[in-house]
Amino acid sequence: MTVLLILFVIILALLIILALPVTFWGRVRLNEKLAGEGELAWAGGLVAARLGMLDNKPAFSLRVGRWTGRPPRSGRKKPARPKQEKKRKPDQTRNAFRIKRLAPFLDGPLLKRAFAYLRRIWRSLDLKLRLEGEYGTGDPALTGYLTSLVSALHDSRLELHLRPNFAETALDLRGEVGGRLVPVRFLWLTGGFLLAAPVRRLWWSRIIKRKTKVREVF
C-alpha cells in the first residue's frame, strides 16, 4: 500500500509539473551582424533560461528562484590550424542511398498526418510574431517571388511589415516572437502522432528489422 501511495504521489507531481506552462519570448535583428535576446521560463518565471547574442558572441544565464548562474568564461584558445580539405568526387550511389532512405517519409498519408500534427502544435503554442524591415536579393524576379510568398502568409498571429527592395541587395530585419506551451499538451499531441497508423508502421518496421539483425548475429 505504501508503494502504491508513493507511486501515486510521484505521478501526480509529474502531471502538475508538466501542466505548468512554459513561456518564451525573443527579439532579434539581422543585417550585417546578428543580435538578439530571448528567454524561456517555466512556472511563471520560477525557472528561466536567457540567451543573448551581441557581435556574434552568445551569452547564457540560468535563473532558479533568486539564484542566477552563468557558465564560466573559458580561457583563450589557441588558434586552430586550418585543415586541408580533400576534394571528394560525387558519389552517385551515396545520393541514391539517401533518396532511398527518404522515400518512406514521402508517403501521402504520412505527410498528411505530419502536417496535421504541425498545425496542432502551431495552434497550441499561442504564438505571436512580428517581423519588419527591408529585404532584397539583387534579382527583381526573385525578390518579387519572395514578396508573393510573404503576402500569402496571412494569419492573425503574424504581423508582417516587410518592404521589398527591387533595386539592390538588402537585408535589415527586426523580429519579435512570444508564446506559451503546456508540456503535457505537447506530449499528448506528439504521442498521438507517433501512434497514428502511418507513423507507427514506419518506426515499428525499423524495430522489427533491428531485432532480426540481432538474431542473425547471435
DSSP 87: P
In a domain, 49, yes or no: yes
- State the Cα–Cα distance between residues 170 and 143, nearest whole angstrom: 10
The per-residue pLDDT for 130 is 93
The CA distance from 79 to 84, in Å, is 15
pLDDT for 107 equals 61
Q: What is the pLDDT of residue 104?
A: 55
Q: Provide the grid cell at 203.
A: 518506426
Domain-embedded: residue 190? no
CA distance 62 to 199: 37
pLDDT at 163: 94
The pLDDT value given to residue 125? 87
The helix (H) or strand (E) run that includes residue 12 is: helix 2-19
58 located within any domain: yes
Crossing angle of helices 2-19/183-195, nearest 10°? 100
Q: Is residue 144 part of a domain?
A: no
Note the pLDDT of residue 99.
44
Asked whether residue 61 is domain-assigned, the answer is: yes
Q: Considering the domain boundaries, does residue 25 fall inside one?
A: yes
With helix as H, strand as E and coil as C, how does 29-86 read? EECCCEEEEEEEEECCCCEEEEEEEECCEEEEEEEECCEEECCCCCCCCCCCCCCCCC
Question: Which tens digits make up the pLDDT trace of 77-110?
Answer: 555 565 555 555 544 444 444 445 555 555 678 8
Structural domain boundaries, residue 46: 20-72
Residue pLDDT, tens place only, 46-61: 999 999 987 778 889 9
Q: How many angstroms separate the CA atoms of 57 and 23, rounded?
A: 24
Q: Angle 40-42-48 (CA atoms, 0-180°, nearest 5)?
A: 50
Output the pLDDT for position 78.
Answer: 54
Residue position matching grid coordinates 539483425: 213
Number of domains in the chain: 1
User: Of 178, 176, 175, 173, which Cα lies nearest the Cα of 33?
Assistant: 173
CA atoms within 13 A on the CB side of 30: 11
Low-confidence ranges of the chain (pLDDT < 50): 90-99
Residue 59 lies in a domain: yes
Is 94 inside a domain boundary?
Answer: no
At 201 the pLDDT is: 84
Residue 95: the pLDDT is 45
Tell me what pLDDT residue 19 has: 92
